[in-house]
Structure 1
Amino acid sequence: MLRRGLDALYAAGAAVAALSLFGIFLVMMAQVALRFLNRQFPGADDISAYLCVATTFFALALTFKRGELIRVGLLLERLSPGPRRFMEILALALAAIGSAYAVWWTADDVLFSWEIEDLAQGPLPIPLWIPKLAMPLGAGILLIAVLDELATVLRGERPSYVVAAEERTARGDFSAEV
């Protein structure tokens, strides 16, 4: 049940990322259509930038779980199973610390923007805490995914990103191994 919940959380993050990406498409198409009418879309650049940040942060967890984030496995792949497991645990612990740090400081920035009622300086006075909220939420989902993988490795199992990479390689798909 916990596994299904976690997988649903990662999928929900990816769905929000996909919707954000689609939102960028809609904003761009609206800009094109309005140009034909000699009109402008006020705040289109700001909205696109906010959606770009949301796309990036909400996609992190599922991308990590699928083994599609940049990962340097050169050293790990050459180690025997014992040292490899130790290094995998160390790398995941460091990733968890880094992710927790990102959650902490981005959440602090959101709170600060909310407290001072910070508004976007562009044509649309959007309260900045709203688009900034994507950063701690997305980083928080990534932190959960990293802790999930750390627990997996501590139980003696193989990380899902390694399994996913091996499955892609077995299918002859080397697209993520660039």
Structure 2
Amino acid sequence: MLRRALDALYIASAGLASLCLFGIFAMMMAQVGMREAGLQLVGADDLTTYLCVATAFFALAHTFRRGELIRVNMVFSLVGPAGKRVLEGMALSLAVIVVGTIVWYTAADVLFSYEIEDVAQGTIAFPLWVPKLAMPIGAGTLLIAILDEAVRVLRGEIPNYVLEAEARAARGDFSAEV
């Protein structure tokens, strides 16, 4: 049941990223159409920027789980299975620290923006805590995904991101490789 809930969380986060990406598309198309009509879509640049950030952060957990984030395998190829597990554990531990710090500071920034009633300086003065909320939510979901994978490694299992990358390679799909 927990596995289904976590997978649903990652998919929901990717769904939000997709909606934000569609929002960028809709905003740009509206700008084009309104420009042809001699009208201006007020605040479109600001909103598009916020949607870009939200797209990136909401996509992180799903991208990580699918093994599509950048991963350097040079060291991993030099060690055996036990060494790989140790290296995976170390890398995931470091990732927990780094992403946990990002979650902490972005959440603090959202709270600070809310407390001081910070508003955008663009053409539409709306509360900045709203678009900033995508950062701690997206990074928090990534943190959960990293902890999820760390538990797999501690159990002696192969991380899901490795399995996904191996499955793509077995199909001859090297589109995510660098």
**TM-score computed with the length of structure 2 as normaliser:** 0.99
Detail structure 1 runs of 4+ shifted over 3 Å in the superposition.
Answer: none
Local SS of the residue matching 1:46: helix
* CA–CA distance in structure 2, aligned partners of residues 72 and 57 of structure 1: 22
Amino acid at match of 1:44: A
* CA–CA distance in structure 2, aligned partners of residues 142 and 33 of structure 1: 37
Local SS of the residue matching 1:152: helix
Q: Does 1:119 align with 2:133?
A: no
Amino acid at match of 1:169: A
Q: Which residue of 2 aligns with 1:170?
A: 170
Q: Which residue of 2 aligns with 1:101?
A: 101
Residue deviations 1:114-146, cap 9 Å, x none?
011000011111100000000000000000000
RMSD of equivalent CA atoms: 0.6
* CA–CA distance in structure 2, aligned partners of residues 134 and 77 of structure 1: 36
Residue deviations 1:45-79, cap 9 Å, x none?
00000000110000000000000001111111221
Q: Does 1:136 align with 2:136?
A: yes
* CA–CA distance in structure 2, aligned partners of residues 130 and 115 of structure 1: 12
Q: Which residue of 2 aligns with 1:54?
A: 54
Kindly, what percent of the aligned residue pairs are identical?
Answer: 63
Matches within 5 A, 1:59-98: 59-98=59-98
* CA–CA distance in structure 2, aligned partners of residues 7 and 78 of structure 1: 32
Q: Which residue of 2 aligns with 1:37?
A: 37
**TM-score computed with the length of structure 1 as normaliser:** 0.99
* CA–CA distance in structure 1, aligned partners of residues 172 and 74 of structure 2: 20
